[in-house]
Amino acid sequence: MIALSLAEISAAIGGELHLHGAHTADTLVDGTVDTDSRNIGPGDVFVAKPGEATDGHLFVGTAVAQGAALALVEHVVDEPVTQIVVPDVVTAIADLAREVVARVRAGGQLQIVGITGSNGKTTTKNMLATILRAEGETVAPVGSYNNAVGAPLTMLRVTRDTRYLVCEFGADAHGQIARLAGLVTPDVGVVLMVGMAHAGGFGGIEATVRAKSELVSAIRDGGTAVLNADDARVAGMATIAEERGLAIRWFGEGEIADVRASGLEVTASGTHATVTAGETSLPLHLKVLGSHHIKNALAATTAALALGVSLEDAVARLETVELAERWRMQVMGSDRVRIINDAYNASPDSVHAALRTLAQITGPDERMVAVLGAMSELGEYAVDEHAKIGLLAVRLRIPRIVVVGQEARPLYLAAVAEGSWSDEAVFFADADEAFAYLQGELRDGDRVLVKSSNSAGLRFLGDRLGESFS
> Which residues belong to the annotated binding site for ATP?
117-123
DSSP 328-378: BSEEEE-SSEEEEEE-S---HHHHHHHHHHHHHH--TTSEEEEEE-PPPS-
Which of 334, 341, 344, 345 has the alpha carbon at shortest distance from 357?
341
CA 305 to chain centre: 21
Neighbours of 174 (CB within 10 A): 15
Contact assessment for residue 353 and residue 202, using Cβ atoms and an 8 Å cutoff: no
- Rounded distance, CA 124 to CA 130, Å? 10
Q: Which helix (H) or strand (E) holds 452?
A: none
Sheet holding 247-252, edge to edge: 138-139, 164-168, 111-116, 188-191, 224-228, 247-252, 259-267, 270-277, 280-286
Q: Are 150 and 95 in contact (CB under 8 A)?
A: no
Distance, CA of 74 to CA of 288 (rounded, Å): 44
158 vs 154: CA distance, rounded Å: 8
3-state secondary structure of 223: coil
CB 415 within 8 A of CB 388: no
Reported residue count of the chain is 470
Q: Which residues are annotated as a binding site?
A: 117-123
Give the per-residue SS3 of 278-303: CCEEEEEEECCCCCHHHHHHHHHHHH
Beta bridge partners of 157: none
